[in-house]
Amino acid sequence: MAKEAFVHTRKSMAALTCSLALASPFALAQKAGKDDAKALQDLAQANMAEVQVGKLASQKARNPEVKKFAQHMIEDHGKQLGELKKMAQAKEVTLPAAPKPKHQAAMKKLQDLSGDEFDRAYMTQMVKDHGETLTLAQKTASQAKDDELKAAAQKAAPAIRQHLDTAQRLSGLTGAKSQ
């Protein structure tokens, strides 16, 4: 009987040691990962906004190049959002269900426009949004503690830069204000 108690206690101690070994890095990661979780959420919200406004622009834009750009935003940012959602799920980070209020307000303004006026406003918004998102991606790539998040931001930055360059070019074609 004493031998059984010893084996049981030994197994319990081994399980406890294993649990502590797994929990300690997780607790440290949670503590250090607060900024990373915020960056992940912010990147996801930026991608959500681009997909939503891209869908609107693919319907409302008059200029064929603006429509093509909008479709490209839906595809690229949809893919990036999917990757961020998988990462967030794996890291147990809850993502917001909608873009930030500032993106929602911009979407609302765009919904009320049409024709060339819509194209100009959309491209102005795209220059602004992609400039901000590029800054966020670059900051995340250099400051993230999580290697996977850092790599994702490094991978996304060139695509965001390309989107910004295209948005700036199209802004000139539509007569949009450069930000």
Domain ranges across the chain: 1-32, 33-174
pLDDT, tens digit, 9 for 90 and up, residues 134-166: 999 999 999 999 999 999 999 999 999 999 999
- As a whole number, the mean pLDDT across the chain is 84
What CATH topology corresponds to 33-174? Answer: Ferritin (1.20.1260)
Question: How confident is the model at residue 76, as a pLDDT?
Answer: 96
Q: What DSSP designation does 176 have?
A: P
pLDDT, tens digit, 9 for 90 and up, residues 88-104: 999 999 999 999 999 99
Do 130 and 158 form a contact (C-beta atoms < 8 A)? no
Question: How confident is the model at residue 13, as a pLDDT?
Answer: 39
Question: How confident is the model at residue 164, as a pLDDT?
Answer: 97
Query: What is the dihedral angle through the alpha carbons of 26, 29, 30, 36, rounded to the nearest 10 degrees?
Result: -150
Nearest to 173 by CA among 77, 62, 72, 58: 62
Instruction: Tell me the C-alpha distance between 111 and 150, whole Å.
Output: 35
pLDDT, tens digit, 9 for 90 and up, residues 8-60: 444 443 443 343 333 333 332 443 389 999 999 999 999 999 999 999 999 99
